[in-house]
Structure 1
Amino acid sequence: MTDDIAAGTPASARTPSPDDGYLGDLAVRAKWDEVYAERERLWSGRPNGALVAEVAALTPGRVLDVGCGEGADAVWLARGGWDVTALEVSGVALERAAEHARDAGVTVRWVHAGLAEAPLPPASFDLVSAQYPALPRTPDAAAERALLSAVAVGGVLLFVHHAGMETRQADESGFDPADYVWPSTVTALLDEDWAVEVDEQRPRLVPDGGAGAHHAHDLVLRARRLR
């Protein structure tokens, strides 16, 4: 959803309606609605480089795009023959994503929900992609377990985040890395049912324009569910 979760943007004063189908924390939704509403376009409009690189050798199937933002990854995947379900907490972002998909002439299944609250069929996605997500970390590891449970047997979890964010100190903006899910917290839950295929830091192909362009290196985790 974002590669700038340390921005410390305050929650919006506008109260989201609870009856529009959204499933999740209303305060989180309001925060991200305000983040997106502050700019006509938040991201570059191009797919994330790590996703493009890691998906190149995969056969298209069902994919879950976690934190789809304005839809660049979802549209790129759909153009590549994937059956795309895209999840996002911000209704503002989803409206832009849906418009992007319409303009591109592709079909995407949109889900307006938090990851832990989303009614996703278990073990049903050949690829679960989470690119720089702002997933809240909880004592029961709800977000991490939701990511893993969505992957079908034989499928792949691709989790990408910015190197160095996890080890930053909490600051006055309100950002504390302990509040969020990182590749290492997902890796810690992997057992013998999983094979780690990639777990590394690498230079990031930085797109022109869009928030987060100052991050130059990625942490890339690709794990395959064996059973």
Structure 2
Amino acid sequence: MTENTTETPAPRTVLVTGGNRGIGRSIAEAYREAGHNVCITYRSGEAPEGFFAVRADVTDSASIDEAFQQIEAQFGPVEILVANAGVTKDTLLLRMKEADFADVVDTNLTGAFRVVQRAAKGFLRKKFGRVVLISSVVGLYGSPGQINYSASKSGLIGIARSLTRELGSRNITANVVAPGFIDTEMTAVLPEETQQQYLDSIPAHRFGSPEEVARVVRWLTGDDAGYISGAVIPVDGGLGMGH
């Protein structure tokens, strides 16, 4: 008589950029709860306890390479990459300086390219890789005063789909998660009237939680989602209706 045993999957090496606060912090915590080796990059502030944290700037290729070298020395190649680091510099088109546009795109879009390109080396060695790019409903829906941010976030879809076509045969997937209005420090400081306007536009009539985004990201890199690639998963309470 044989005894049935369920093997616990081996922990993966996970990197979450911008993982020291907000949605990124919740994503990192979700992976830690699942028993993975979780690494985060952060540019400013304090490194949270419980993670292998490396100070890095996604606008600097040398900084990113140094961060990966430290992670690889500790845990081996990154197997799951969540590109979450991002900034905003909101203002209306006619007031927006070219530097405001370029800086946001360099962090949110080119920054994602830098970390994906560096991670791909390890993916190919391991013959396994999972990428999730954290976009926004604004990247699909548009928003006044956020032409730079919207452009940077919609560009992530092109990265995910092109990466899928380039490396999909190597057991590498790339997907996009597009959060809507999430209950973070950024939404908490909005005037009550503005918050109410946002709530009125969301079919679910509530803000999402960072944990709800994190669980979708974690699922998307797990075994159950191994045949999903090039997809855009909205976590927005129905705000964008998939667009």
Using structure 2 for the length normalisation, give the TM-score. 0.46
Larger radius of gyration: 2
Greater relative CO, 1 or 2 (CA 8 Å, sep 6+): 1
Which has a greater percent of helix?
Answer: 2
Using structure 1 for the length normalisation, give the TM-score. 0.49
